[in-house]
Structure 1
Amino acid sequence: MKFHRLTAAVLAGSMLALPAAAETRVTYKSAKTASSYYQMGVQIAEAMQEASDGEISVTVEESQGSVQNVMEVRARGSDYVFTTPPVLVSLAQGGKAMFEGKGDPAFNEIRALFPIPSLTMHFVMSEESGATTLADLEGKTILLGKGSFGATEGEKYLGLFGLADKVEIADVELSNAVPAMQNGQIDGFVTAGSWPAPNVVEAAASTGVTVLSMSDEQIAETGRTKLVIPAGTYAGQDEDIVTTSLPVAAYTTTKMDDETAYQLTKTYWESKAKLGESSAWWNGVDEALMENITGQIHPGAVRYYEEAGMALTDAQK
């Protein structure tokens, strides 16, 4: 198990709520250390450190995935913060899919804090391929990767749109997508992650690519959330990219006290603009993503949203 130990944020004003010598410890469990989501956890903790006098100490902990993060709620205490798509929280609370037969009362105590960058689908095609729509994938060689959300989702989309038997799937690791495109081994690749995606940035800058958009009808058929990547995000991208996403949020449980949840949420939002100066993926997070949190929000976080004038639904309260 790998850990990244950092001191996290409580903003000025927290001294009124906590004794001068008090320290609250928080564990932030995100993803594998090589992933962008682990980097995000480190960045959150660093931003909090800069704003704090050390009242809240955050440990960023490696995870094997979102399902594991949810499952660990059963054994964790008041210090536990984790990231996962809201849909997995709903499945856990309903005892469905991968949580069937594994239900636990602890799942009903999960509460959201704030949204983080969404997992965003990218169908990335070389300019030489001439592909500008999903239909143009027919006859092309595509890299899906293995075992990732993007690979599973990409395979699903090929089936939905009648392309499963019309596309050649390359036996190449996703980490080799850019060189494989450069040498003509593949016509394109599918990847999912926060945007701007580093491998898409590299491909766009080095070989020239077209990131495909989807129609509203296609997006509806996938059952995923619509997301627009603004024009200019990638080199040579003159128009918005309309694609799908899987929302992701940071969660804790009712075991966390209201003041800690309030300070974490407040610090996150008030540090986000500065985070975006160093990592553009934070610029894709705004108040509009709040509607993707389908379950309840922690009362301490609700307090911040009400102070900030962010509208919440009855279900979120």
Structure 2
Amino acid sequence: MTTTHFGRTIGARSRVAAATIAVASLALAGCSVGDGNDLTLATGSTGGTYFPLGGEIASVWSNNIDDISVTATVGGASVENLRALDQGEVQLIMSVNATAADAVTSSGDFADNPLADPADIRALGNIYPEILQIVTTRDSGISSIEDLRGKRVEMGPLGSATSALAAQVLEAYGINPATDLDATLDSGFGDAATNLGDGVVDAAFGILAAPTGSIEQLATTNDVVLLDIQGAALDRLLAENPLLSPHQIPGGTYRGVDNTNRTVTAWATLYAKADLDDELAYELVRVMYENARSVQHSAARDMLLNTAVDGLGPVEVHPGAVRFYEEQGISVR
């Protein structure tokens, strides 16, 4: 397989789960932006970061913007979320920045099946750094990515940025996922962590906040190992993916993992379409950043104005969001 895009995944893309989080619309305070706006935010799988964090952000919006009710749904993650947004099935999505860049340029996963209107995608702002975590256990005997040959590996849900990046990491190490692994699974990370703990698989890829609850729970019953991305393979990966950056997870982030883990990161970003009302876009961005400390999720500590428009690549920022950032003295390209 050859590609130079982060948003590429293997095989057919199918599924967006139907489960939802109902978020109350209490309208406690804030600026009114209209009458009866019901919005849907597509997130990710239940065991990852998007789903619980998205529910918290949706609740903050609902409680602080008059006449707004936001429902956060389990989504198929980046690729499927972008397709759902393009088709008008949802109004807001969370996606990895590099996957969104592929969507608007009709490359990577979107080369053969582009969005109906790729130029209509707009960024609202970054939420937190997406950290690739490649997890195994001491009992597996795996200590490096090279050791994944012939093993059973959770690659991430089909249509997700995890699946795309997992394939690219393996290929950077000369491993063809289709031929060099014993088996590949496509579970959400919660199920992937369970499968890893139960010995169903040998390793799992996840694009997550650090720490993330699924790995913390796994570490209570297993000796967890995080695999490093480094050397020439890291150089190849970064050359192919200009919106990725090197990242280090400090030792001690997870129980029993004392060494620094060398990996890569991108941004989890909030997206809408160009026709989202400007005042509504302004309020969504304002409330999200002004109330970041009230979001009950560890990833919210990285929801910062000074990184809100970093690494957006070719995706335009929504005019309503631009107005807010300019008021805060933040330059938007």
* TM-score (normalised: structure 1): 0.76
Amino acid at match of 1:80: Q
Q: Which runs of 5+ in 1 are unaligned?
A: none
Task: State the distance in 1 between where 2:155 and 2:141 align.
Answer: 22
Aligned residues: CA RMSD:
3.7
Structure 2: gaps of 5 or more residues: 1-17
**Kindly tell me: are residues 244 and 259 of structure 1, through their superposed partners in 2, closer, same or farther at Cα, counting changes over 3 Å?**
same
Aligned pairs for 1:223-302 within 5 A: 223-224=240-241, 225-226=244-245, 227-275=247-295, 278-286=296-304, 287-288=306-307, 290-294=309-313, 295-302=315-322
- 1:200 paired with 2:215, answer yes
Task: Give the superposition deviation at 1:262.
Answer: 0.9
Q: Which whole-Å CA distance do the structure 2 matches of 1:61 and 1:94 have between them?
A: 26
The CA distance in 2 between the partners of 1:27 and 1:186, in whole Å, is 34
Contact 2:83 2:115 in 1 (8 A): no
2:23 alignment partner AA: L
Secondary structure of 1:14's counterpart equals coil
* 2:44 pairs with 1:58: no
After superposition, what is the alpha-carbon deviation per residue over 1:221-262, rounded to whole angstroms, capped at 9, x for unaligned?
Answer: 123412333443211333442212343311112212221111
Q: Is the 8 A contact 1:24 1:56 kept in 2?
A: yes
Deviation at 1:102, TM superposition (A): 5.2
Runs in 1 of length 4+ with deviation above 6 angstroms? none
Q: Does 1:99 align with 2:110?
A: yes
The answer as to whether partners of 1:29 and 1:69 remain within 8 angstroms in 2 is yes
Residue of structure 2 in register with 1:160 after alignment: 172
Which structure 2 residues correspond to residues 52-91 of structure 1 after superposition, within 5 A? 52=65, 54-76=66-88, 80-91=91-102
Q: Is the 8 A contact 1:126 1:208 kept in 2?
A: yes
Letter in 1 for 2:298: A
Report deviation, 1:172: 7.0
Deviates more, 1:98-107 or 1:119-128: 98-107
Larger proportion of helix: 1
Contact 1:33 1:39 in 2 (8 A): yes
List per-residue Cα deviations over 1:171-227 (Å, max 9, x = no partner): 7775265565566x7654333333323332122222222212322643331234123
Query: Residues of 2 paired with 1:182 and 1:114: CA distance?
Result: 38
Q: Is the 8 A contact 1:142 1:167 kept in 2?
A: no
Give the C-alpha shift of residue 6 in structure 1: 2.3
Question: How much has 1:8 moved relative to structure 2?
Answer: 5.6
Residue pairs, 1:133-148, within 5 angstroms: 133-135=144-146, 137=147, 141-145=151-155, 147-148=157-158
Give the whole-Å Cα distance in 1 for the aligned partners of 2:263 and 2:255.
18
Question: For 1:216 and 1:274, how far apart are their aligned partners in 2?
Answer: 40
8 Å contact from structure 1 (residues 142, 190) kept in 2: no
Mapped to 2, the partners of 1:201 and 1:31 lie a distance apart of 19
* Partners of 1:98 and 1:110 in 2: CA distance: 16
Match of 1:24 in 2: 37
Figure out how many residues of one structure are paired with residues of the other and give that number: 303
Q: State the distance in 2 between where 1:210 and 1:90 align.
A: 32
Q: Distance in 2 between matches of 1:62 and 1:25?
A: 17
- How many Å separate the matches in 2 of 1:146 and 1:60? 21
| Larger-Rg structure | 1
Deviation of 1:308 (Å): 2.7
**Where does residue 229 of structure 2 map in the other structure?**
214
Work out the CA distance in 2 between the residues paired with 1:245 and 1:170: 26
**Does the CA contact (< 8 Å) of 1:182 and 1:207 recur in 2?**
no
Q: For the Cα contact (< 8 Å) 1:123–1:190, is it kept in 2?
A: yes
Match of 1:124 in 2: 135
